[in-house]
Structure 1
Amino acid sequence: MKGPVQIADKTWWVGVNDRTTDLFEALWPLNRGISYNSYMVADEKVAVIDGVKADFYPQYVENLKAILGPDRTVDYMIVNHVEPDHSGAVEVMVQAFPDITVVGNDKTLKFLTQFYGPLPNFLEVKDGDVLDLGDHKLTFALIPMVHWPETMVSYDTSTKALFSCDAFGSFGALDGGVFDDQLELDSYRDETYRYYANIVGKYSSFVMKALNKIRDMKLDIAIVCPSHGPVYRKDPDYIIDFYEKMARNETDRAVLVVYGSMYGNTARLAEAVAEGVHSGGITDVMVKNSATSDLSELVRDLWRCRGLILVGCSYNGGVFPKIKHFMDIVEGKKVSGRFVGICGSYTWSKGAAMKPMRAFAEQSCWTKVEPEVEVLSRPDRKDLEEAHKLGANMAEAVSKA
């Protein structure tokens, strides 16, 4: 974007696109970049809602000054979430606007001072508190653990805009437009899934509490303004309903097959499994090589799929490391309610691959699908038939759920 974009009366998007950072949180690839959405309400008082990553402060200041002109200042900086991709500009904002008051809850102040030291002016707000800017009045609601303890949202009763920070966010820079009716939302859907599954998904129970809290407040939401991704003005319910589906762990009639194979023998099991799934009437099947697939995409795909089949060879007395890493990440994300099947292979360490995969599949949060398939070195026809049977049984389980 070449500068600020007006999104409602006296309200602007003043954010930036980041197409240079390779990894979000130094973990998750940003192949399509990411936006840092900041907003300004310029009424009798001027409030900036969330900031941008510190690297982009010069461009950010240009956006602010394009609205403020030479004579106005920023009265308030509202920090809905302290993670530095939003709060990184706090230090320089305090320097640029010495009389600015930073607004947040009690945990906000604690975290901000840990990052940036003492703040000269801070206004603590609680649930339901209102900040009067003139015609525009901002109401605050705390939504802890979506996905940090201090997270809150701000709601403008005049424009009915919900400034939701990381809630309702997405990976992907804004490609030439800001709004949902200017962008091809289907192209952002996978990036929204990937963002949710990897960043927010672990805290889905808190997301549901936040959604219920917003409903209990009976907010009439006309615009959803997250801190990453599109602004939803045409259909705000689209992103709210999408997040609720993900938070409820609702899945599609689909199966993800993730395999680890050093020399191609175990990969043949994965192919047989996939054929079995298709034979059972499931056409939405993804076969992913754990060695070459991006981990964040595997987590995204699992969040969407009702069934998971792990196919791993033995390695150094355990399971193939990429499969082990995937299982560890999935456990950390608290994914649950899926059907899981396992296949393994070994040459001289029987059970080495199966033992950790079995422990994973037999957790109470999963439903295990039989048969287990373990192959000695190279699968023969009988082994491939067993793998095919596992796939067919998975298709039946997924279809009936």
Structure 2
Amino acid sequence: MFKAKSITNDIYYVGVNDRQKLMFENQIPLPFGVSYNSYVIVDEKIALIDTVEIPFAEIYIDKLLDVLRGRSVDYLIINHMEPDHSGSIRAIKRLFPDVKIIGNARTFKMLAGYYGIEDGLMEVTDGSTISLGKHELKFFLTPMIHWPETMMTYDASDKAIFTGDAFGAFGALDGGVVDADLMVNKYLDEFDRYFSNIAGKYGSPVQKALEKMHSVQIDYICPTHGPVWREQIPKIIDMTNSLSRYEGKRGVVIVYASMYGNTEQMAEAIAEGLSESGEKNIMIYDVAKTDASFILTDIFRYDRLVMGSPTYNNGLFPEMASFLLKIENRDIKHRKFSYFGSSTWSNATMRIFAAFAEKMKWEVIGTAVEEQQSLKENAYKACIALGKELAKA
């Protein structure tokens, strides 16, 4: 019943959409859903590239059988072992018991651990090739994007590269598969959020992968989430290069926590100082109201960050403390940083933010502002001044 979609004459998309899952990896909201992408190359030999999450196996296999038209899968190529892409491997193995499973040494350790599969394996190394007939496939090992076994598969005939989670985006695919057939701006925004939250920690491995990709002509980028990139390839590569170098463009993200509105007023005053100095790219977030994935996306996008919190049980407000761990986990580099805080009787905020900036090796801009109880004139003016210092930076 379910039909596959063709990308080229020989490459077919057999992925599925998940519009029911609320949280990716049980932590990142999916307002537009997510796709699990799998591809088939039809030649003298047939190669299946990655699979889909197991709840969608029935739809997935229907699409696969539509492409095969009675033929068998000769090779199953595993670019990434995360269960949302490897979940249907056992079902494929049962359907095609003679299939050769292609991966690298690290792939096979995980394959045995997750699914107990240890036979019918074909190991590849960096630069290995196989021929399907007119399609020659070359493998690039790209460890730590964002797991140690990750790799990419390049089809020299159609100039298509299958990249695993690299170049992925959140968002179920709305009818089309290739970017030219979709409302692309939505997926470009979700590409930013995907990179920031999934691959953001691994800037150096991403740079190494980009270097390997420069050696081949690429007409299609086929990731395991989001659109197949064709028209947007230069933009996608440029965005990936910039994000993985942590090259934030000009702009200021203000992130605060506030229980009774006093710290919030400090954030507003800093924003006033920024605006008075001509800064327009100002994003203000209440860390208790906006999901961290959206805030992290803007911290990756922009070059300056200001954070503020009330003291809570001699520490940071809990949501702010949690958010600092999320930033640290992604090892975001090269940000200019300022901070502020309030308290009623004992301010621990200054000490904690100062230590955080030192740990992240960020440049601290201006003089941190602290206030006790409500915001008063001197602290208000100091916040305005801090905003102006940030604008100069």
Find the counterpart in structure 1 of residue 309 from structure 2. 312
* Aligned partner (choices 220, 229, 233) of residue 232 of structure 1: 229
Which residue of 1 is the match for residue 30 of structure 2? 30
Q: TM-score, normalised by structure 2?
A: 0.98
User: Contact 1:277/1:395 (CA < 8 Å) preserved in 2?
Assistant: yes
Name the counterpart of 1:118: 117
Asked if structure 2 preserves the Cα contact closer than 8 Å seen for 1:170 and 1:192, the reply is: yes
Q: Deviations over 1:124-147 (max 9, x none)?
A: 011111111111111101011111
AA aligned opposite 2:294: E
**2: distance between equivalents of 1:82 and 1:331?**
25
Partner of residue 293, structure 1: 290
The match for 1:67 is: 67
C-alpha separation between the residues in 2 aligned to 1:197 and 1:61?
A: 32
Q: Note if 1:358 corresponds to 2:369.
A: no
SS at match of 1:244: helix
Counterpart mapping for 1:198-347 below 5 A = 198-215=197-214, 218-347=215-344
Equivalent positions of 1:368-387 (< 5 A) are 368-387=364-383
Q: CA deviation at 1:364?
A: 5.6
Q: For residue 11 of structure 1, what is the aligned residue in structure 2?
A: 11
Q: Residues of 2 paired with 1:265 and 1:235: CA distance?
A: 45
What letter corresponds to residue 391 of structure 1 in structure 2?
G
TM-score in terms of structure 1 length: 0.96
Q: Judge conservation of contact 2:140–2:153 (CA < 8 Å) in 1.
A: yes
Distance (whole Å) between structure 2 residues aligned to residue 81 and residue 294 of structure 1: 27
Deviations 1:275-323 (A, max 9, x none): 1111121101011001111011111111111111101101011111111
Structure 2 distance, partners of 1:323, 1:91, is 42
Counterpart in 2 of 1:165?
A: 164
Once the two structures are TM-superposed, the CA of residue 241 in structure 1 deviates from its matched residue by 1.5
Letter in 2 for 1:201: G
Aligned-partner Cα distance in 2 for 1:139–1:361: 43
Deviation at 1:35, TM superposition (A): 0.7
Correspondence for 1:186: 185
Q: Helix, strand or coil for the counterpart of 1:93?
A: helix
1:280 touches 1:392 (CA, 8 Å); kept in 2?
Answer: yes
- 111 and 372 in structure 1: CA distance in 2 versus 1, 3 angstrom threshold: same
Q: Which amino acid aligns with 1:105?
A: N
Distance 1:204 1:235 in 2: 21
Mind listing any 5+ residue stretches in structure 1 that lack a counterpart?
A: none
Amino acid at match of 1:63: K
Paired with 1:210 and 1:148, the residues of 2 have a C-alpha distance of 13
CA contact (8 A) 1:256 1:307 kept: yes
Alpha-carbon separation, structure 2, partners of 1:335 and 1:365: 10
Amino acid at match of 1:52: V
Amino acid of the structure 2 residue aligned with 1:213? K
Task: Give secondary structure in 1 for the equivalent of 2:216.
Answer: coil
Inter-partner Cα distance in structure 1 for 2:94 and 2:51: 14
Distance in 2 between the 1:364 and 1:126 partners? Answer: 35
- Residue aligned with 1:165, SS: coil
How big is the shift at 1:175? 1.4
Matched residue, 2:84:
85
Instruction: Tell me the secondary structure at the aligned position of residue 242 of structure 1.
Output: helix
Secondary structure of 2:374's aligned partner? coil
Distance 1:183 1:278 in 2: 36
Contact map agreement 2:251 2:279 (CA 8 A) in 1: yes
> 235-244 or 221-230, which moves further after superposition?
235-244
Q: Distance in 2 between matches of 1:365 and 1:189?
A: 30
User: Is the CA contact (8 Å cut-off) linking 2:2 and 2:66 kept in structure 1?
Assistant: no
Partner of 2:96: 97
Contact 2:12 2:41 in 1 (8 A): yes
**Distance between the aligned counterparts of 2:191 and 2:298, measured in 1?**
12
Q: Secondary structure at the match of 1:176?
A: coil
Residues 338-380 of structure 1: CA distance to partner in whole angstroms, max 9, x if unpaired?
111111001111x312211111123462110111100011111
**Partner residue of 2:50?**
50
Size of the aligned set, in residue pairs, is 393
> Secondary structure of 1:375's match?
strand
CA–CA separation in structure 1 for the residues paired with 2:121 and 2:303: 47
User: Shift of residue 2 of structure 1?
Assistant: 5.8
Give CA-to-partner distance per residue, 1:82-120, whole Å, 9 cap, x none.
001111111111011111111101111111101000333
Q: Name the CA distance, whole Å, in 2 between partners of 1:68 and 1:121.
A: 21
Tell me how far apart the structure 1 counterparts of residues 128 and 271 of structure 2 sit (CA, whole Å).
54
Structure 1 CA distance for aligned equivalents of residues 117 and 218 of structure 2: 35
Is the Cα contact below 8 Å between 1:319 and 1:354 reproduced in 2?
Answer: no
Separation (CA, whole Å) in 2 of partners of 1:279 and 1:327: 29
> Which sections of structure 2, spanning at least 5 residues, go unmatched?
none
Q: Which moved more, 1:360-369 or 1:36-45?
A: 360-369
Aligned mates of 2:360, 2:72 — CA distance in 1: 56
Q: Which amino acid aligns with 1:172?
A: G
**1:308 touches 1:338 (CA, 8 Å); kept in 2?**
yes
Q: Structure 1 vs Structure 2: percent identity of aligned residues?
A: 43
